[in-house]
């Protein structure tokens, strides 16, 4: 099972992802919670240092914060090494300069981030039973989730071009009496990446659900509604929507007026997401950081039936 938590910045999605992952671990599921947000705060929520490689933070719960930039540099280094064996020496410096610039491109960073996430998802069933993803704010999450669908045909096109170029090279070599069927590392890497993207696309469609998190205000509501439409159009399935920091009914004065506004937003959320369910999380005391405080929220999510 794969669960994504996404929403507008500042609504508490990282806290919700951490608490949900903790609840899953306590229920006996080997759980990995991973942050794909460039502005990582998962380590702050868990009150423990977290790195790219998953590490166990409590019994049954692993955590990681993955970096698209670090993964992009690693992937570009691999492609550069392949290029040294596949392109003429006179054009190699230009290829290396191009790859160095490509490592910093936004599309490259997100693609590399997806590669690393795919590696971690491949551990489902072996290393862990649940993967919980603390996504970046909504726009970044949407791009990440739609990348497998976008990248697969693009990689197929690159592979066809490379196959045509390799076929021409073999034809010329045969005419010169030097026909050798040597492996093409670039082509092999393209085929392998295409297969992994197809696998990830199928895995997301079959096993992934997205929890959208918002606070009961109009701007987060508008962004949540747009995100839900985009996700559904892209073939993703929604899970229960979480409305965070709901004021209690007994508030008076200014907070009472704010609660009235919140109720208007909540009514729209319940109407729009009746099919997947809505979980209301009250405004809680404390910073909700560290395993101790997160357990309170994990208890609440358990009682709300997050897996139902």
Task: Report the first-to-last Cα separation within the chain, whole angstroms.
Answer: 13
Cα–Cα distance, 133 to 4 (Å, whole number) = 5
Q: What is the pLDDT of residues 201-231, one digit of tens each?
A: 888 888 999 999 999 999 999 999 999 998 8
Cα–Cα distance, 198 to 196 (Å, whole number) = 5
Q: What is the pLDDT of residue 167?
A: 47
Lowest mean pLDDT among 6-15, 143-152, 174-183: 174-183
More confidently predicted of 195 and 284: 284
Res. 182: pLDDT tops 90? no
Q: What is the pLDDT of residue 179?
A: 46
Place of tokens 């990689």: 155
* Interacting residues of 17 by C-beta distance below 8 A, sequence separation 6+: 3, 5, 33, 35, 42, 132, 133, 134
Please name the helix (run of DSSP H) or strand (run of DSSP E) that holds residue 52, with its range, or none: none
6 φ, ψ to 5°?
-140, 165
pLDDT band at 72 (very low <50, low <70, confident <90, very high): low
Domains and CATH numbers, the chain: 2-304 (3.40.50.300)
Distances in whole angstroms, Cα of residue 231 to Cα of each of 70, 165, 199: 27, 38, 19
Q: What is the pLDDT of residue 156?
A: 53
Q: What is the pLDDT of residues 152-174, one digit of tens each?
A: 554 455 445 545 555 444 434 44
Packed helices 218-233 and 138-175: angle between N→C axes, nearest 10 degrees = 30
């Amino acid at each position: 099972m794969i669960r994504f938590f996404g929403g507008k910045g500042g609504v508490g999605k990282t806290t919700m992802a951490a608490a949900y992952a903790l609840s899953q671990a306590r229920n006996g599921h080997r759980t990995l919670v991973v942050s794909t947000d460039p502005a990582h705060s998962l380590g702050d929520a868990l009150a423990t240092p977290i790195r790219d490689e998953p590490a166990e933070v409590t019994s049954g719960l692993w955590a990681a914060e993955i970096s698209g930039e670090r993964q992009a540099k690693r992937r570009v280094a691999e492609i550069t090494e392949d290029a040294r064996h596949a392109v003429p020496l006179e054009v190699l410096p230009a290829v290396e300069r191009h790859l160095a610039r490509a490592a910093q491109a936004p599309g490259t960073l997100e693609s590399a981030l997806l590669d690393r996430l795919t590696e971690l998802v491949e551990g489902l069933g072996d290393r862990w039973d649940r993967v919980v993803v603390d996504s970046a704010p909504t726009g970044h999450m949407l791009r990440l989730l739609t990348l497998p669908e976008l990248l697969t045909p693009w990689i197929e096109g690159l592979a066809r071009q490379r196959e045509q170029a390799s076929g021409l090279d073999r034809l010329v070599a045969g005419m010169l009496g030097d026909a050798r069927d040597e492996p093409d590392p670039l082509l092999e890497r393209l085929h392998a990446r295409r297969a992994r993207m197809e696998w990830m696309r199928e895995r997301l469609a079959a096993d992934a659900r997205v929890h959208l998190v918002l606070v009961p205000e109009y701007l987060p509501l508008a962004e949540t509604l747009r995100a839900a439409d985009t996700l559904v159009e892209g073939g993703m399935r929604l899970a229960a929507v979480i409305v965070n920091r709901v004021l209690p009914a007994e508030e008076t004065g200014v907070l009472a007026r704010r609660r009235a506004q919140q109720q208007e937003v909540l009514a729209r959320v319940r109407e729009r997401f009746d099919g997947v369910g809505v979980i209301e999380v009250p405004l809680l005391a404390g910073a909700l950081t560290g395993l101790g405080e997160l357990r309170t929220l994990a208890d609440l999510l358990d009682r709300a039936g997050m897996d139902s």
